[in-house]
Structure 1
């Protein structure tokens, strides 16, 4: 307990799924977490759960595709808490479409909810992370690393985030800022729905995971996020951490 005592954390897409799992893992380690999500109802529900461990935590409703919101998010958090220690860029939406049918709107959705918010929130957070010698955690995907079919728009945005993260790790290391990437496989609400709709396909995918299961959003993905947000990871930067049960082994 206490690896993140009094650290102030922003998590986008924090109302549920992997974002919610990270938020729960972090507040249990003493963090004050600001979850950002477009969904007001689920955001408020998650906040109630977080506040049982961290009464000072907060929920900010925001549409990340409106770039005007992004600096406001960081400013709101810093004005309330006086500091920012960790930025977690988790939110991302996309459509699964074969490349030949992918439209500009499909690309705009993926880049607009994933890459652009990651970029602008990193810029907005930089002055504050310089002060705290803080951490940035961004998100990649096996869809980009392996080139999964029908995931062109999503994979492109995720790989752009990986490239951006490596540049930031090189440029901002001099300020004591660590920038790392998690590439997860987790049993999120979306995967749960898929497992019920296509149980045979779900089992086939699960059986290809060397550890034989999908990750838990809090215990598996959240704990890795806690590590990357803590002093324990202070000599790690620019890395993609495959939190996927061994599905993709980088070399």
Structure 2
């Protein structure tokens, strides 16, 4: 018996990186999955992997989080396919990471806000009526970039802190309906980070020294494991929280 047997989850950006890691962890625990993203080929490949390795029921659709009509259609397709929704995971985000605040353009800022903050807003808004029926939950991916003011991350940090604030309001407003909302701030080894490691090995090694556990997290076992907890009945009394999953580098009261 898996912790998520019988549950249906939408995972944005589920075709790669942390999103795919969370999808894998959910599938292993018995969840059915509806993954979204911007590249159909990547989604199709991810769906086949999840089906093949875990025997999961997986559907997908191409959807741009900044487009409310596409988001609404994606939620409707999930309901059409599975008949319900238990967990909404907002993971997808694009940004001009590495660009200093003073060098940002309005277009750079719009990219982060539209894909991240508006994306989470649209999915939460259109998922809520279904989550209310199942007493489900929202899991939003925030970031240490916002918590700790990481350089070169101004628009990304702004979007992620906006998501955290919206999550806390949702926890307050939706709690009476039995719907929970929480955030995860991850630090994980993704394809993008692996490329950065190869390009800047000395900087990578210095970064590792600042992580007490001495490594980057695994998208499935480390980040996905916490997401499974938040999606399961084990966290039935947890709402409005931000959990930093950063190997000890996110120490805070």
TM-score, normalising length from structure 1? 0.98
The DSSP-based 3-state class of the residue aligned with 1:246 is: coil
The DSSP-based 3-state class of the residue aligned with 1:215 is: coil
* 1:184 shift after superposition: 0.3
Alpha-carbon distance between aligned partners in 2 of 1:159 and 1:179, rounded to the nearest angstrom = 15
- Name the structure 2 match of 1:218: 220
- Name the structure 1 match of 2:78: 77
Q: Structure 1: which 5+ runs fail to align?
A: none
Contact 2:33 2:56 in 1 (8 A): no
Q: Is residue 15 from structure 1 mapped to residue 11 from structure 2 by the alignment?
A: no
Q: Structure 2: which 5+ runs fail to align?
A: none
Contact 1:2 1:30 in 2 (8 A): yes
Alpha-carbon distance between aligned partners in 2 of 1:211 and 1:62, rounded to the nearest angstrom = 36
- Name the structure 2 match of 1:111: 113
- Name the structure 2 match of 1:185: 187
* 1:151 shift after superposition: 0.7
Give the count of matched residue pairs: 251
- Name the structure 2 match of 1:58: 59
CA-to-aligned-CA distance 1:57-86 (integer Å, 9 cap, x gap): 112112222221011111110111110000
Contact 2:25 2:228 in 1 (8 A): yes
Question: Which 4+ stretches in 1 moved above 3 angstroms?
Answer: none
- Name the structure 2 match of 1:48: 48
Calculate the aligned-residue CA RMSD, in Å.
0.9
Contact 1:179 1:237 in 2 (8 A): yes
Contact 1:31 1:54 in 2 (8 A): no
* 1:55 shift after superposition: 4.3
* 1:56 shift after superposition: 2.2
